Structure 1
């Protein structure tokens, strides 16, 4: 049994298969999940687990070189916007509609219980060397 890192066996299995430039999504509980993209739903009640909590755990486990975020978060959800800016190395902003289209290319979507608006991010994997 693992002592550190992601304990969820589904997440750990998906993470082990990721390579450079692969993308994953961490989503609030309202983001539409595109057909054909695997989704691991961690939500267990409104607000739990929170988006930032899961983002921090994922960032501890994966090398992330860049991120894509809906530009609307800057105006509507300042708390999440500030957290994203402090945690992520490089952020590209797109409209929420473009963001939703981009999720179709993800290898995985992690659904949280987050209920604040635009609390979503696409993370692009980097390399460890």
Structure 2
């Protein structure tokens, strides 16, 4: 049995095959998933699983060099304050783009992970880095 936190075999296999610059989207239940990227649907019920839980598990295996959030997710917060669902989890400072741009970029992702999260704009694009 695996020693890392991520037990979902399909998601773990995807991360194992990602290369430098490949994108993985973790999205809320309402994020439209375009044709093209692989869909990994984890949504069970509203709020289960939450984006924060999925993000934590993914970050246990994925080296991230860049992260993108919707500008709308941080509007109205103090400068540099991240939404609760990602605060303290990322080793990089996320960049912000419009929600429309985030949706457009998600079409180029290797996969989109759908969660049961029902918080508006709780979506993140993770760009794979390298460990050397």
Counterpart-to-counterpart distance in 1, 2:49 and 2:28: 10
Separation (CA, whole Å) in 1 of partners of 2:85 and 2:47: 17
Deviation at 1:85, TM superposition (A): 4.8
**Could you list the per-position Cα deviations for residues 68-91 of structure 1 after superposition, in whole angstroms to 9, with x for gaps in the alignment?**
110000137899625535322031
Q: Does 1:68 align with 2:35?
A: no
1:39 equivalent in alignment to 2:26 = no
CA distance in 2, matches of 1:81, 1:10: 27
Moved over 4 A (4+): 76-80
TM-score (norm 1): 0.91
Q: Work out whether residues 24 and 122 of structure 1, in 8 Å CA contact, stay in contact via their aligned partners in 2.
A: yes
**Residue 27 (structure 1) shift:** 0.3
Return the structure number with greater helix share. Answer: 1
Q: How many residues are treated as equivalent by the alignment?
A: 129
Aligned to 2:29: 29
Residue 86 in 1 paired to residue 88 in 2? Answer: yes
Runs of 5+ unmatched residues, structure 1: none
Residue 117 to residue 111, structure 1, CA distance change in 2 (3 Å): same
Q: For the Cα contact (< 8 Å) 1:77–1:116, is it kept in 2? A: no
